[in-house]
Amino acid sequence: MKRPIILFGGASYEHEISIVSAISLYRTLSCQSLFVFLSPNHHFYLINLIDMRAEHFASGRYRKNTKLFLTRGGFEKRGLIFRTQIDGDLVINMVHGADGEDGTIAALLDFYAIPYVGPRIEASVLSFNKLFTKFLAQSSGVKTLPFEKIRRGGAIKTPYPFIVKPLRLGSSIGIGVVKSEADLEYALDAAFEFDSEAIVEPFIANVSEYNLAGALANGKWLFSVIEEPQKKEMLDFDQKYLDFARDGKAREADISGDLAEKIKEEFKKVYNEGFEGALIRCDFFAIGGEVYLNEINPVPGSLANYLFNDYESALNSLIEHLPQGRRIDVTYRYIHSIRSQKGKL
């Protein structure tokens, strides 16, 4: 297996979740990975394996680790008179939320011609914004629940009960169920604490929810098991947070082969709309025999290692077949042609 650089951290509300997620992957992978921490003020640090503990980051001790800089093809150490590129073959993007899932990291890695596992720029933009995700699903022929986008003070047309979600946030942060007018003010305050816009959907009690992770590599689909997450009224932050720290394997959902196939087919439709090179997780609802997309997780917690029976094999297959960036050769042919005809330009 090639030697991956696990990039985690970032400046977002999901910064701490990214740390826990990276630690979980560190405990999972048998290959000699490198770990690079992106601090909240956007500095890169090479983390010693012995320091892959949550307290190392919470205490700020990571600042004593070697500082890194982006350069064409990878990360490098810099001294007064030397520059040395660290020995990693590619980057695995594990920066959750803003920076990692909004296209920022993808743009940086593309700019510096660094191969990476993760959503490309367009896929990041479409999956980070819940409204854009709805549009993506509609254009792909994938069903979603009815929805409306709101700003603070805006009228809500969806009847009770409904669920309110910040438009650009994951991990169930800021989500609230509104059953009556008495719940409304608190739910809106919680959502607008994290974003200036929110999305509203009908809340369906006891709806069946299923998670499937996967990727397409060299024409072959790499699917995880389909999991039915255990939840209370809804899958809240605390339950999802525990998933990021999971080391054990998920239990496969007890569903019919027909429903499992429907979920996989809807996943394929979503993935084929631009997620090449990424290992993603899609969360679905099953209602009346039909499958509805709930959300796309372009950088899933712990990169969804707990959902796969043979995770390293699936990840290695994806790594070996990453999309190749298009190289543009600048020849200055146009300028030379003008000069040859008109003299000095």
Query: Which CATH number characterizes residue 295's domain?
Result: 3.30.470.20
Shared-domain flag, residues 245 and 101: no
Distance CA 27, CA 24 (A): 5
Q: What is the span of the domain harbouring residue 160?
A: 148-202
Shared-domain flag, residues 254 and 316: yes
Shared-domain flag, residues 315 and 212: yes
Question: Per the domain annotation, does 182 fall within a domain?
Answer: yes
Shared-domain flag, residues 14 and 98: yes
pLDDT digits (tens, 9 = 90+) for 44-61: 999 999 999 999 999 999
Average pLDDT over residues 263-281: 95
Question: Per the domain annotation, does 78 fall within a domain?
Answer: yes
Nearest to 70 by CA among 88, 54, 57: 88
Domain count, the chain: 3
Question: Per the domain annotation, does 331 fall within a domain?
Answer: no
Shared-domain flag, residues 138 and 265: yes
Shared-domain flag, residues 131 and 235: yes
Shared-domain flag, residues 16 and 89: yes
Q: From 173, 202, 231, give the residue that closes a domain.
A: 202
Nearest to 286 by CA among 143, 134, 140: 143
pLDDT above 70: residue 158: yes
Shared-domain flag, residues 290 and 239: yes
Please report, as a single letter, which amino acid is at residue 113: A
Q: Which pLDDT score is estimated for 344?
A: 59
Say which residue the tokens 């950088």 belong to: 299
What band does 127 get if pLDDT is binned at 50, 70 and 90?
Answer: very high
pLDDT digits (tens, 9 = 90+) for 275-299: 999 999 999 999 998 999 999 999 9
pLDDT above 50: residue 237: no
| Beta-bridge partners for 221 | 216
pLDDT digits (tens, 9 = 90+) for 248-263: 788 999 999 999 999 9
Shared-domain flag, residues 248 and 303: yes
Residues in the chain: 345
* CATH code of the domain covering residue 43: 3.40.50.20
pTM: 0.90
Q: From 165, 187, 202, give the residue that closes a domain.
A: 202
Distance CA 38, CA 156 (A): 39
